[in-house]
Amino acid sequence: RLYSLAQPPWPHQRPSPSASKEVWKKGGRMFSILLAVHLALLACTLVSSGAFEKIAVHDYDVFFLLTIMMLVVIVWMIFYLVSTSRCPDAILCKDSHAGPVWLRGGLILFAIFSLVMDVFKIGYYSSFYSCLSAIKIIYPIVQAIFVIVQTYFLWVSAKDCIHVHLNVTRCGLMLTLTTNLAVWMSAVTDESVHKAHSNSSTEECNCNSQICQIFKNGYFWLYPFNIEYSLFASAMVYVMWKNVGRFIDHHSHHIHRLKFRLFRRTFFVGIVLGLIILVSGLGVLIVYEVRVNSSNESSKKKEALTMYYIFNIVCLGLMSLVCIGGSVIYRFDKRDMDRHKNPTRTLDVALLMGAALGQYAISYYSIVAIVASTARDAISALNLIYALLMIAQHTFQNVFIIEGLHRQPPKEDRKRDPHQKDPYGLTFVNVNAVSLRVPDSGSTLAPSTVPGIEAIHPSELVQSLAGPKKMNWRRKFLREISMFLLLSNIILWIMPAFGARPQFDNDKELNFYGDSMWPAIVDICLPFGIFYRMHAVASLLEVYIMS
């Protein structure tokens, strides 16, 4: 035993001489962050100025900047792919948490839709290319190439922990991240402007032909996918940036290789309930869109709004209850918390908490408007309940997802293992304990805590032997819950992403805050709300697989 401590066989010891190559990681990161901040601010300035007609900055100025940024990023990505394939020492280890297959699958799905959108855009602008600046056609062409190259790049190298050209790679990744965020900002602004001016056609060259109208409507319907593509790519690029120059302890990883088995021992209750919600939600959305957009009668509009609110209240209420149930089940779950370092998960949690702020802000402004205004009617009451439930549901769902993501995956393999009590099991726990870091205390658990672990461990084993039936029940429930929440989040993503805007159709807040403040609040915050739903779906899928 003493021998093994004096010469420990830990694999993370190996790279430590080369780890000292980089004297100060923070300094290396700082430069790339500065680059990203400046580029992002410049893009943000141009995009926000370009959105206003009165301001002498036009959308082609924005497209020009974005085109240049995308071209630079394409060149850098090709350089990265070539240089890493040539140098065998470039990638010493891979982060198995990064770029899970469903994230990469989603990326490819959104990439395909983005490409279709670009084709539509090219078709739309080429219908009257004679009276437009050339950049409006060049931009979608460059964007299509960018989407193809970036999707290939992320598919191949999302898990890389690169160890050559550290600073160039950091800057390149930050440039990629900024470009994606700028494209996202531009798409969100473009969509909001289009929604606001959908009736007035002030363009010099009108789009009158049938095919041109199809192209135009087509590319605006496909915008949500492009927006999600940019955000997915940004998240993956950020994780790659965090992994630059990182060495990974391979021990904590081989437990996580879980397979995605969709219908393993479920009661189908979650899926069936979720599908009911999904289908009825689609129906509500179609009826709502048709009624609100076609008729100017206020009674029909009110009916549509009432229907929309009631559906959402039922859906959000159910989801909140289910989330509370899930959190209660976690209280009785004896699985250990997973404290290993995991940049993907940290990012997931930060994005969930951060993106929820968008919907929180809209809801709080709604609540203040409804409470402070004197006129009260049924729609206002429904709107108030809707806003309150929105806040509650986001909060409970975040708590549920974050708790789920931090659980250790189930130890099924160990339970089925007949040699459970052999020394191997103890060594395994042992090594894990050594590499376990108590976060924030600035100290490490030293090998001398091994006796303590040994003392705790047998009781845990006994427990997991005594109650396998109960564990299964709990896990089944958790799986039902996450599947139901997943499907519900999909419909709550579809509704705002495809144009339902009760925030504007209901004129309460618009009258209270005025024509400039309320649209500003909604247009800034709603994209985060939509992204939240998308991201919650991805995280719930992970919770489903882990439970």
Specify the 3-state DSSP secondary structure of 336: coil
DSSP 221-277: HHHHHHHHHHHHHHHHHHHHHHHTT----GGGTGGG-----TTSS--SHHHHHHHHH
Residue 180 C-beta: closest distance to its own copies, Å: 19
Residue 305 to residue 292: CA distance in whole angstroms = 8
Residue 440 C-beta: closest distance to its own copies, Å: 5
Tell me how far CA of residue 513 lies from CA of 53, 192, 363, 365, 529, in angstroms.
Answer: 22, 18, 14, 9, 20
Q: Does residue number 105 form part of the binding site for its own copies (CB under 8 A)?
A: no
| Encoded amino acid at 527, one letter | P
| One character per residue 230-259, x = contact with its own copies (rule: CB under 8 A) | ------------x--xxxxx--x-------
Joined together, the tokens standing for residue 312 give: 């959402």
| Encoded amino acid at 209, one letter | S
**Of positions 331, 439, 459, 469, contacts its own copies by CB under 8 A:** 439
| Beta carbon nearer to its own copies, 20 or 199 | 20
| One character per residue 147-166, x = contact with its own copies (rule: CB under 8 A) | --------------------
Q: Does residue number 133 form part of the binding site for its own copies (CB under 8 A)?
A: no
Residue 388 C-beta: closest distance to its own copies, Å: 12
Q: Does residue number 13 form part of the binding site for its own copies (CB under 8 A)?
A: yes
Tell me how far CA of residue 160 lies from CA of 92, 94, 177, in angstroms.
Answer: 8, 5, 16
| Beta carbon nearer to its own copies, 172 or 404 | 404
Q: Does residue number 89 form part of the binding site for its own copies (CB under 8 A)?
A: no
- Asked if 163 contacts 91 with a C-beta cutoff of 8 angstroms, the reply is yes
**Interface positions, 325-384, toward its own copies (CB under 8 A):** 337, 339-341, 353, 357, 360-361, 364-365, 367-368, 372-373
Residue 307 to residue 386: CA distance in whole angstroms = 12
Q: State the burial class of residue 79 (Cβ atoms within 10 Å of its Cβ: 0-12, 13-18, 19+).
A: middle
Specify the 3-state DSSP secondary structure of 255: helix
Residue 161 C-beta: closest distance to its own copies, Å: 9
| Beta carbon nearer to its own copies, 131 or 337 | 337
Task: Give the interface segment with its own copies, choosing from 22-30, 171-179, 317-325, 413-421 (CB under 8 A).
Answer: 22-30
| Beta carbon nearer to its own copies, 131 or 372 | 372
Tell me how far CA of residue 27 lies from CA of 40, 160, 166, 254, 454, in angstroms.
Answer: 20, 21, 12, 32, 41
| Beta carbon nearer to its own copies, 37 or 75 | 37
List the one residue out of 536, 479, 492 whose CA is nearest residue 277.
492
**Interface positions, 452-511, toward its own copies (CB under 8 A):** 452
Q: Does residue number 314 form part of the binding site for its own copies (CB under 8 A)?
A: no
| Beta carbon nearer to its own copies, 213 or 427 | 427
| Beta carbon nearer to its own copies, 117 or 543 | 543
β-strand partners of 39? none
**Interface positions, 404-423, toward its own copies (CB under 8 A):** 406
List the one residue out of 152, 153, 118 whose CA is nearest residue 138.
118
Q: Does residue number 437 form part of the binding site for its own copies (CB under 8 A)?
A: yes
**Interface positions, 35-64, toward its own copies (CB under 8 A):** 37-38, 41-42, 44-46, 49, 52, 54-57, 61
Q: Does residue number 30 form part of the binding site for its own copies (CB under 8 A)?
A: yes
Q: Does residue number 293 form part of the binding site for its own copies (CB under 8 A)?
A: no
Residue 349 C-beta: closest distance to its own copies, Å: 8
Name, in order, each residue with C-beta under 8 angstroms of 98's C-beta and a sequence gap of 6 or more.
Answer: 158, 159, 236, 239, 240, 243, 343, 344
